[in-house]
Chains A and B, each alone.
Chain A
Amino acid sequence: MLAWNEMRRAKVRFGLLCGAVGLLVFLILFQQALLGGLVTDFIGAVDNQDAPVLVFNDQARSNVEGSFLFPDQAAAIAGVDGVASTGFIGEGTYTVETGGEIRDAVMFGYELGGLGAPSSLVEGRLPAAPGEAVSSAADRDNGFGIGDVVQIVGDGGPTIVIVGLADDLRWSVAPTMFASYDTFEAAQRAVNPQSSVVFPSLVGVQPVDGVDIGELTDRINSEVDGVEALSRQEAVDGNPGVQGVSQSFGIILGLAFLVVTLVIGFFFMILTVHKARALTLLRAVGASSRYLVKNLLVQILMVLAIGSFLGVVMTVALLRLGPSGEVSAKLDPSSVAATLLGLVVLALIGGLAAVRRVLRIDPMSATSGAGQ
């Protein structure tokens, strides 16, 4: 009651604080949405293909573009205990012509019916023959919609018809297609006429039922020379693009979190000093420190709740109404929840100075009227 009444009587003061916290929450959530969208645009293709384990060349350092595996390595992987099946996965970036325009696009090739198929199909079907592909649904209007014909530019480059769309399928922020492994080979030959053999970029692995993925990747790494087996998640997290983007955003987000903590900390510290006389009086007439601290924490939580509400509303509104650019922004409910929980903890930490101030109040000073 005490907490709420004070807020009601100082609407402007608390309103401004809630507004400031709301803007900061908005800043954090919107950046997280951008980051989420950007990350998905970088690694969607690997995240949304169905091979649980991906084997890279160990020199590639989780970089799909820099990875290729020799046939004997692929064979050795297939022979590791706990491996149920394997499949070649190829990846390349190509200049393509579609809808009368020249563009860059990524193509993943996998053995049809085997590992490495897109798992987030939303329309159409998976490729059933060479020359068919599923594409990233976000690029449906840019020449990668169902029925569109995509021509790989180069000598004898294959012609690809889009037969399905899958969500979050982009790779390195480019339109991305999943086609048969033969189609990938044909595209590679078209752009590198000199090379006679095409090596797979990765080998997808399906573990035997009940085999632990971590143990399996360890076993592959120790038994097969020159490879690095990663779980799908490890492959996503280790992506160099993702790491760069996450780091830059991480710094900005960290600063925003710090600012929230400081804003709340300073505000409540000033407020507590400002009303020290009233707090002293209350202590003198029988309020416990606990009661006053509880009211302080209730206020901090109320400010945060209102600020978070405003921030979430602003973020959702902007994501709904704002222009959908090349980079998609994505608000993930569980990461929003984690962010808000983190803010609660930080706000309470920010409030510690004020709590300490409350605990140091000497009720005796009420008699002299000093109160400070």
Chain B
Amino acid sequence: MSALQLSDVRKVYRSGDQDIAALDHATLDVGDDEIVALVGPSGSGKTTLLSIAGGLLRPTSGSVVVAGHDISGYEDKKLTAFRGSEVGFVFQSVNLVPFLTARENLLVVAEMTGKPKGPARSRADQLLEELGLGGRSRNLPDQLSGGERQRVAIGRALMNEPGLALFDEPTSALDTEMGEQVMTLIRTEVKERGVAAVVVTHDTRMTHFADRKVEITDGRLAASGG
């Protein structure tokens, strides 16, 4: 079964009297434990695609099937619950709640989706340990480095055991070495758990961490080797 199936997805933004097609005839199939790199220039529609796959945005047309569920017709409440349990998201910019420690940033997603506390704690500790943050779990985000923050965000995305994880330019704010480290962690964590992932990047040096590369230009997808 596919973790994510986008079929002929179109997203049109209306700005003023103008319609901008941020995504057009996008069809993409991400396998169960596959990592897909989504590469494209700025403004090409990468974030739009991730948002649609992650239930943050509804497509103008086309269908979005995640883990067998067609979410394109979900109403707000169902989408919220979907985001909490079926997908993990690492955003391009703000990822952590500033007044929660690293560990609490993981725990809060379990709490808000009503997961039992005990297992959530051990899962959070395990994730932080694997992400090399065992000693930093009680630190607040502003006491962490950029790379550490990004790793906490990865832990947060995997906290609720999603089938699909979405990463929006997870290395753009990091130097090459840190970026490689974070990509390695993403690959390890995702593969170990059998989670499918879409990693957006415009850094072609990072694409070798993925199983497959998909290019996007002006809202249109084109498969390419890799």
Query: B interface, how many residues as a size bin?
Result: 35 or more
Q: Which segment, of B32-40, B98-106, B208-216, faces chain A?
A: B98-106
Chain B residue at smallest Cβ distance from A366:
B91
CA distance A273 to B160 in the complex (A): 28
Within 8 A of A (CB), among B76-114: 77, 80-85, 88-89, 91-100, 104, 107-109, 111-113
A1 adjacent to B111 (CB under 8 Å): yes
B83 adjacent to A364 (CB under 8 Å): no
Chain A residue at smallest Cβ distance from B160:
A286
Known: A1-B111, A2-B111, A284-B89. A364 touches B51 (CB 8 A): yes
- B140 part of interface (Cβ distance < 8 Å): yes
- A277 part of interface (Cβ distance < 8 Å): yes
Partner of A281, one of B80, B82, B94: B94
The size of the chain A interface, using a CB distance under 8 A, is 26
B109 CB to nearest A CB, Å? 6
Instruction: List residues of chain B with CB within 8 A of the CB of A277.
Output: 94
Interface centre among A5, A281, A291 (most CB of B within 10 A): A281
Q: 1/0 contact trace for B22-60 toward A, CB 8 Å? A: 000000000000000000000000010011000011000
B89 adjacent to A5 (CB under 8 Å): no
B101 CB to nearest A CB, Å? 8
- A287 part of interface (Cβ distance < 8 Å): yes
Interface centre among B56, B81, B104, B109 (most CB of A within 10 A): B56
Interface centre among B82, B108, B113, B140 (most CB of A within 10 A): B108
- B156 part of interface (Cβ distance < 8 Å): yes
Chain A residue at smallest Cβ distance from B82:
A286
Known: A1-B108, A369-B92. A286 touches B83 (CB 8 A): yes
A284 adjacent to B83 (CB under 8 Å): yes
A283 adjacent to B99 (CB under 8 Å): no
CA distance A1 to B84 in the complex (A): 17
- A243 part of interface (Cβ distance < 8 Å): no
- A367 part of interface (Cβ distance < 8 Å): yes
- A9 part of interface (Cβ distance < 8 Å): yes
A351 CB to nearest B CB, Å? 19
B221 CB to nearest A CB, Å? 19
A285 adjacent to B156 (CB under 8 Å): yes
CA distance A225 to B121 in the complex (A): 81
Instruction: List residues of chain B with CB within 8 A of the CB of A369.
Output: 91-94
B99 adjacent to A285 (CB under 8 Å): no
Instruction: List residues of chain B with CB within 8 A of the CB of A287.
Output: 80, 84, 108-109, 112
Q: Can you pick out 18 interface pairs between chain A and chain B where the beta carbons lie within 8 Å of each other?
A: A1-B107, A1-B111, A6-B99, A277-B94, A278-B98, A280-B94, A282-B97, A282-B108, A282-B112, A285-B156, A286-B81, A286-B83, A286-B85, A286-B112, A287-B80, A287-B84, A288-B80, A369-B91
B: residues with CB less than 8 A from A are 47, 50-51, 56-57, 77, 80-85, 88-89, 91-100, 104, 107-109, 111-113, 140, 156-157, 160, 168
Given contacts A282-B112, A285-B109, list 13 more A-B pairs with CB under 8 A: A2-B100, A2-B112, A5-B100, A278-B94, A278-B97, A281-B97, A282-B108, A284-B83, A284-B91, A286-B83, A288-B77, A363-B80, A364-B56
A: residues with CB less than 8 A from B are 1-2, 5-6, 9-10, 275, 277-278, 280-288, 291, 363-364, 366-369, 371
